[in-house]
Amino acid sequence: MAMATGTHVGPYEIVGWLGAGGMGEVYRARDPRLGREVAIKLIPETFAKDASRLHRFEQEARAAGQLNHPNILTVYDVGTHQGAPYVVSELLEGESLKSRLRGAPHSPRRAIDYARQIAEGLAAAHDRGIVHRDLKPDNIFVTSAGRVKILDFGLAKLTQPADDAARNAGPLTETGPGTVMGTAGYMSPEQVRGETVDHRSDIFSFGAVLYEMVTGHPAFIRATAADTMAAILKEDPPEPSTATIPPALVRVVSHCLEKAREARFQSARDMAFDLESLSETTATASPAAGVAAPRLRVPPTGSPPPIPYLSPGPTPNPVPGPTPPPSPSPIPPFLSRPLEGGPGSPLGSPSCVIFRTGSVVFAATTIVGSMISFGSGLRRSA
């Protein structure tokens, strides 16, 4: 039964119900001490006597409380209400990655952006010896500002105690061989087999999430859980099409989904580095040729102002004799008009033209037949 508005949980006042997950119910609440709204996750009373569920819930609080990273849900407080523990975290506005997917792929640029943020969050957790163990689109939240947050460390395993006292006491939780924990469809092969897992299990799950982001459909989910687990162990998902997805991104996905953990990325930081490189490449790539051309921005409407051509320095005096034309490149299919100034332009060429598309201007120095050469002295202007 949902808690009524106005109920107090510790010092927090319940404002409304947000939803429910595998580990408990989530409410919007207000912290009167700081005057801010928070999210409270607590186990329903009907499950409060389940020792295993309670232990896993407490495990989530300990694990998440150790982490302070922009791509991981921030935990503010933990406590107990009428015998049931609760966790207080930041209140997020947005939706889960599962809701954002809705059976349709993300663009490569967006998928790379989200994947890079997830990888950085995982790297921070792995650095603290924390393995998520249940990474999936439901446990990844995208805020209205585009920030990605990893949620629910309820299945996390602390493989590296934080201090000597904890080290002497042993791991806070240990899933023994033969125990399967996680969500079918996103589990690693070693999870399916019930083996002891490490951070590389999260890397496989990450690969399954990234595959779904770029293709729009899950990598391994089948009609039954048994068929799904068999696919994880024995099958490779169809390779994403390189016609719409950069080959380098396809290689990242395949590298994550290697069946043998030794063949995968060996750290989330390695993944984040590769994705950051891909992000930079994608951001500078031209839609037509895959390489950014010199660009000068002008207002999208009205008559364009004089174009601020920039050169490294004064134009040297021309050298007598014929000058071979620069290596040409194909003419873009844009509208063109002559550049005012002709021989007196800073580019020093009587055949300069510019090409406009929207708010982007491309400047060319030489036209040879149906080919064009761009001025090497141009620099990008704001």
Residues with catalytic annotation? 134
The Cα–Cα gap between 45 and 49 comes to 8
Question: Residue type at 366?
Answer: T
Burial of 79 (0-12, 13-18, 19+ CB in 10 A): middle
H or E stretch covering 165:
helix 164-169
Both tokens assigned to 18: 């947000």
Return the C-alpha torsion angle 115, 121, 124, 129, nearest 10: -90
What's the sign of the alpha-carbon dihedral 83, 89, 91, 92?
negative
In angstroms, the CA 322 to CA 366 distance is 14
Picking from 249, 327, 251, 329, the residue whose alpha carbon sits closest to that of residue 289 is 329
What is the token pair recorded at 366? 């030489």
Tokens of 155: 């299945």
Q: Are 217 and 102 in contact (CB under 8 A)?
A: no
Residue 97: strand, helix, or coil: helix
The CB-side HSE value for 350 (13 A sphere, CA atoms) comes to: 0
Integer angstrom CA distances of residue 304 from 355, 358, 363: 12, 11, 14
SS3 of 168-223: the string is: HHCCCCCCCCCCCCCCCCCCCHHHHCCCCCCHHHHHHHHHHHHHHHHHCCCCCCCC
Q: Are 326 and 376 in contact (CB under 8 A)?
A: yes
Residues 151, 282: Cα–Cα separation, whole Å: 28
Rounded CA separation 324/321 (Å): 10
Q: Which of 14, 27, 29, 10 is nearest to 81 (CA)?
A: 10
